[in-house]
Amino acid sequence: MSEPKIRLLIAEDHQVVRKAFSALLSLEVDMDVVAEAADGVEAVEKVRAWHPDVVLMDIQMPRMNGIQATRTIKQEWPATHVVVLTTYEAEDVVFDAIMAGAQGYLLKDAEESEILATIRGVMRGETNLSARIANKIVAEFRRLRTGNPMVVSEEDFVPLSDREDEILALIGEGQSNKEIARRLDLAEGTVKNYVSRILDKLHARSRTELAIKAQGRPRRCPGEC
């Protein structure tokens, strides 16, 4: 008996690009494109309806972006694998996508063989990144931890207010300013101001660095410990 095919969903707002990927992947004997989506909301709906094994996810899409869609999909269907396929390679975007649950991150100029290998790899439980993306992540971690991932600097423990701690923790979960504002019932501009103050207090240069620092900070103990 032959192995079941890998069921794919392609989430991409540009129809020509979406159809091109669909045609390409449909040629593979072990893959089956079961659905397509033009935005993040539709991607979530199609996952609910079709239960694909792997979602190829663009980042910048209308209604709901790829990072938000990835987070929703992984929360509701953790067994579904998400591979980001995008033109965006900024560190913050990469980190947010991985924090949201993406197991692969490829750029759209990737070779066909790399895309196919990544799809098959995530099905085996692997995490695959484009070489440029992997180099960016390695460089960022080396810069932050000077080669030792267990090093924690004094500035990681600079006191923050209760609200700042709360917002930093949500940044560590990969939440955007808009999502944090909705979660805490604040204006998005207010959240942006808090984030700026946290960046200053922790001497951080990017949202990615804040997310990493959030993982190493002790959680505030409510009331008397």
Instruction: Please give the angle made by the CA atoms of 125, 126 and 127, to the nearest 5 degrees.
Output: 125
Query: What is the pLDDT at residue 224?
Result: 40
Query: What is the pLDDT at residue 138?
Result: 65
Higher pLDDT, 14 or 218: 14
Query: What is the pLDDT at residue 204?
Result: 76
**Lowest-confidence pick of 97-101, 188-192, 210-214:** 210-214
Higher pLDDT, 9 or 126: 9
* CB distance 119 to 76 below 8 Å: no
Section 132-156 average pLDDT: 59
Residue 107 backbone dihedrals phi, psi, to 5 degrees = -95, 155
Reading the block at residue 61, the tokens are 């899409």
Neighbours of 125 (CB within 10 A): 8
**pLDDT category of residue 143 using cuts at 50, 70 and 90:** low
pLDDT at 112 over 50: yes
Please give the C-alpha separations between residue 3 and each of 89, 93, 122, in angstroms, as whole numbers: 35, 35, 16
Neighbours of 174 (CB within 10 A): 21
Section 101-107 average pLDDT: 90
Section 174-187 average pLDDT: 86
Higher pLDDT, 171 or 69: 69
User: Mean pLDDT over all residues of the chain?
Assistant: 84
- Which CATH number describes the domain made up of 6-139? 3.40.50.2300
Section 213-221 average pLDDT: 63
**pLDDT category of residue 145 using cuts at 50, 70 and 90:** low
Burial category of 152 from C-beta neighbours within 10 Å (exposed 0-12, middle 13-18, buried 19 and up) = middle
Please give the C-alpha separations between residue 74 and each of 24, 40, 79, 147, 169, in angstroms, as whole numbers: 26, 13, 7, 31, 19
Query: What is the pLDDT at residue 151?
Result: 45
For the chain, the structural domain boundaries read: 6-139, 152-216
pLDDT at 75 over 50: yes
Nearest to 83 by CA among 73, 91, 92: 73
Alpha helices in the chain, H assignment, sequence order: 15-26, 40-50, 66-76, 91-100, 112-123, 131-145, 162-172, 177-184, 188-201, 207-216
Query: What is the pLDDT at residue 78?
Result: 92
pLDDT at 123 over 60: yes
Query: What is the pLDDT at residue 152?
Result: 47
Pick the CATH number of 152-216 from 1.20.1250.20, 3.30.360.10, 1.10.10.10, 1.20.1440.60: 1.10.10.10
Higher pLDDT, 142 or 16: 16
What is the secondary structure of 65-101 as a DSSP string?
Answer: -HHHHHHHHHHH-TTSEEEEEES---HHHHHHHHHHT
Q: How far, in Å, CA of 208 to CA of 218, rounded?
A: 18
Section 46-75 average pLDDT: 95
Query: What is the pLDDT at residue 2?
Result: 67
